[in-house]
Structures are given as C-alpha cells and as structure tokens.
Amino acid sequence: MREQAEKVIIVRYCEIHLKGKNRGYFEQVFMNNLEKSLSGIRHEIRRPSGRYVIENFDSDRTEEICERVRKVFGVHTLSVGTKVDADLEAIWREIQNIAPESGSFKVETNRADKHFPLNSMQINAEIGGRLLSERPSLRVDVHDPDTILHIDIRENGSALVFEGIVKGAGGMPVGTAGKGMLLLSGGIDSPVAGYMIAKRGMKLECVHFHSYPYTNMQAREKVEELARILADYTGGLVLHVVSVTHIQEEIHKNCPAEMMITLLRRFMMRIAERLCADTGAQCIITGESLGQVASQTIEGMTSSNAVIKHVPVLRPLVGFDKTEIIERAREIGTFETSILPYEDCCTVFLPKHPLIRPKLEKIEVAEAALDVQGLLDEAFSSAEHIAIE
Ligand code: ATP
Ligand code: MG
C-alpha cells in the first residue's frame, strides 16, 4: 500500500464541451495553455474523464500552481485534493484530515471504478456515519451543507479526496478564436477590454503609443507592467511600442487645436491596422465606452473607423459604465497599476475644448494638410516589438 498521500489539483473546464466537432481541438489548446501556465514548475497533467488532474508537484508550490491555473481561460473551477489508494480506510484517514469539527456536511462520491466493493451511496453512508459518530457537533444536510466532502474513486486504483471549490477565470482557451491587436494605453479601460476579448479565446498583441520626451519613461514602464498582467492570462503576448511624437507635433502645427484627439486617433488606428497586417492579427480592440469622454462619441468612433479598411474594431466596453469597468479592473488585477499617475500621449497638446461631434468631412479636410503616409512610415520605423512571457 502507498505510504504517503499525495497532493493533487483537480481542474474542471467550461464551455469547451459545447463545441461539438471541434472539441478535440479546443481541448488540445486548453491542455497546451495549462502546460504553458505551469512552465518552470515540475508537474504532470492527467486527463481522467471530463477533467484534468495536476499531480506529481512539490506540495510547497500548491498555492502558486493554483494561482497560475486559475488565470487560464477555460478553467471553470479547481480544487486542491489528496490522492490516496482506492481503499476505504485510506479514504477515511484523509476525510478525517479535511472534515470540519462542526456545522453541516455531506459526502459526495463519484465512482468511476465499478469494481470498488461499495457503491457511491454506500460510501457516502459509511463515511458520513463514521464522521457523525466521531464528531458530535457535525450534522448532515444533503441540500445546503456548509461543507461537501468529495470522494472520486478512479479506475487506476487511486481515489481523490477533496473539499472546497475555487472559481477559475472561465471563458474559452486562448488561441481558439484568432488574434487581435489591443490598443493599450496606461489607463483603466484598455486592459479590461483586452481581458474580455482574450477571455473569449482570442490571442492578443498590444500596441502602445507614446510621445516621448513629452511623456516620460514611467508611463512606458507602467504599460509594460499592464501587458505583463494581461500576459498571465493570455500565455504571453507581444507589445509593440510606437512613437507618435512627430505626428502630434505636426497636427499641433498644421491643424485646428480642437481636432488633436480625433486626428491622433485616426493615426493610431492606421498604425494598428498596419500592425495587424504584419502580425496576422484579425481585429483592433479598444477600451472605448460610449460617451465616457468627449472623444468617445459615435461621431468620434465614425471618424476613427473611417480610416480602417480591412479589419473590424472591437469595443467590448462600449456599453459599460466607468464603475463597472473599475470593478472588473480590480478583479483582474490591473486597477492598482492603471491608477498610477502618468501622462498619456493624448494629454500632450490637449486642447481646452476638444471636438465632441467631429464631422468626418471637416476632419478629412484638416488632415489633408499633413503628410499622412510619411508620418506613418516614420512612426512605423520607430516601432519596438517586445515579447512579454
Ligand atoms: P483607457 O483607460 O483605456 O486609457 P480612456 O478612458 O483614457 O481609456 P481614451 O484616452 O479616450 O480613453 O482612449 C480610448 C482608447 O484608445 C483606449 O481605451 C485605448 O484603447 C486607446 N488609446 C488611447 N491612448 C492610447 C495610447 N497611448 N496607446 C495605445 N492606445 C491608446
Ligand atoms: Mg487613457
């Protein structure tokens, strides 16, 4: 008989089962993403029916593993448990370790090995009965117990015993829904927008625009930190950093002041679309929310969409209130970084009264004063491409 009980982590996935014929593909991507999230940590992942079990790791790293796995999209829930021999006495010893002293409980057994001498109901009754007689302050409640003690009798002669279920990130495995180019500022909104789209299975690349030396290096470091937080969910990403300093200077010199933001947005969109073509990204993603600020009106969006020819622009936050976005930013861990003070390039040369409802024809006339292609080429040649693991 095995002497030591071994720690395991049970991972349940979501939604993947909905995908009919593609199921095998989705599960393969999910498995790869799980493996990638645990790179550098000794472990093995097994796949008994309908879930994934992480085994053979150093128990000191249990929390770290849970923390990483919880962020993998596609993970519905996870539980930390113990693997013991599929033997009633071994199971009972482990149940005594994890059962509470008081309150209500139930035992829930799942028996994949139909040769086990007791059936599920009998195991529930036997283990539950022993607990009740040893711990007088416990009582059984099968409908709404404080604690559920799970026993999984597996087919390979082992059993998993666990209590407690932690919620995972949900969503679809990253890589099953193509790739998008996120316009990542240092603000609160764009990281949340990227998270939401990645959660639907889309791989991300990010582009950040800066106006160095008008904006400082801290702004840049902050964006890299935001990209790193996102990368924990997406299994790495590439951050493209592009200077729009000269573009802003030229707009400032040659165009009406109140058009600065609208014109700059159009340059950002063009650069993003070109990056899409270079990297195979299939859409542009922004953190805009309708009416949130003067430039995020439907007219503003019309004006920036007008320069994009080949890809859709996804704006997952378009119908969200700021308070809802902040709530999500806190949940995903970007908020504290996003609120660090910094200068966005949009705040440089910021007009007192930006155009709220830019008219596309007027914008196009003003833009004709600029060497659009030359400025784009120049910005593009300054681009840096940073791989974030
Ligand atoms: P955020 O909180 O994401 O910065 P915001 O409320 O500050 O958004 P805007 O400054 O109007 O809104 O920007 C709208 C969107 O344009 C951002 O969500 C982002 O997707 C994109 N964007 C703005 N500035 C930059 C930048 N410097 N680099 C990359 N994308 C940017
Ligand atoms: Mg911003």
SS3 of 162, please? strand
pLDDT reported for residue 373 = 98
Whole-prediction pTM value?
0.92
CATH 3.40.50.620 boundaries in the chain: 179-388
Q: What is the mean pLDDT of residues 106-135?
A: 94
Cβ–ligand 1 contact at 293 (below 6 Å): yes
Instruction: Give me the sign of the Cα torsion angle 15, 19, 25, 27.
Output: positive
pLDDT confidence of 342, banded at 50, 70, 90? confident
Average pLDDT for residues 139-152, to the nearest whole number?
96
Of 169-178, 254-263, 345-354, where does mean pLDDT reach its minimum?
A: 345-354
- What average pLDDT score do residues 120-131 get? 97
Residues, the chain, total?
Answer: 389
Q: Are 8 and 54 in contact (CB under 8 A)?
A: yes
CA of 190 to the centre of ligand 1 (A): 6
Quick one: which atom of ligand 1 is closest to the CA of 338? 2
Beta-sheet pairing, 203-210 with 237-243 = parallel
Please tell me if the CB atom of residue 37 comes closer than 6 angstroms to any atom of ligand 1. no
CA 156/CA 153 separation, integer angstroms: 9
pLDDT grade for 356, boundaries at 50, 70 and 90: confident
Ligand 1 neighbourhood includes 345 CB (under 6 angstroms): yes
Please answer whether residues 363 and 263 qualify as being in contact, where contact means their C-beta atoms are separated by less than 8 angstroms.
yes
CB distance 74 to ligand 1 below 6 Å? no
For a mutational test of ligand 1's pocket, the pick from 185, 208, 326, i.e. the residue with the most ligand atoms closer than 8 A to its C-beta, is 185
Q: C-alpha distances in angstroms, 14 versus 50, 67, 164, 196?
A: 10, 18, 18, 16
Main-chain phi, psi angles of 142, to 5 degrees: -80, -15
In this predicted structure, the answer to whether residue 18 has a pLDDT above a threshold of 70 is no
CATH 3.30.2130.30 placement within the chain: 6-167
CB distance 292 to ligand 1 below 6 Å: yes
Q: Is 234 in the pocket of ligand 1 (CB under 6 A)?
A: no
Mutation test of ligand 1: which of 181, 182, 183, 188 has the most ligand atoms closer than 8 Å to its C-beta? 183
Q: How far apart are the C-alpha atoms of 25 and 294, rounded to whole Å?
A: 44
The residue type of 38 is L
Q: How far is the CA of 178 from the centre of ligand 1 (A)?
A: 23
Q: At what angle do helices 23-37 and 62-70 cross, to 10 degrees?
A: 140
**What is 6-167's CATH topology?**
VC0802-like (3.30.2130)
pLDDT digits (tens, 9 = 90+) for 362-388: 999 999 999 999 999 999 998 999 999
Give the position of tokens 């923390």: 67
pLDDT at 5: 82
Nearest Cα residue to atom 4 of ligand 1: 187
Q: How many CB atoms lie within 10 A of CB 49?
A: 8
Q: How confident is the model at residue 17 (pLDDT cuts 50, 70, 90)?
A: low
- What does the pLDDT look like over 312-322, one tens digit per residue? 999 999 999 99
Indicate whether residue 194 lines ligand 1 (CB < 6 A): no
Distance CA 257, CA 351 (A): 6
Interval between CA 183 and ligand 1 midpoint (Å): 7
Write the single-letter amino acid at 210: H
CA of 15 to the centre of ligand 2 (A): 33
Does ligand 1 come within 6 angstroms of the Cβ of 232? no
Q: What is the distance in A from the centroid of ligand 2 to the CA of 277? A: 25
Q: Which fold has domain 179-388?
A: Rossmann fold (3.40.50)
Highest mean pLDDT among 111-115, 212-216, 286-290: 286-290
**From CA 152, how far away is CA 44, in angstroms rounded?**
19
The C-alpha atoms of residue 139 and residue 184 are separated, in whole angstroms, by 53
332 sits in which H/E element: helix 322-332
Nearest-CA residue for ligand 1 atom 23 is: 185
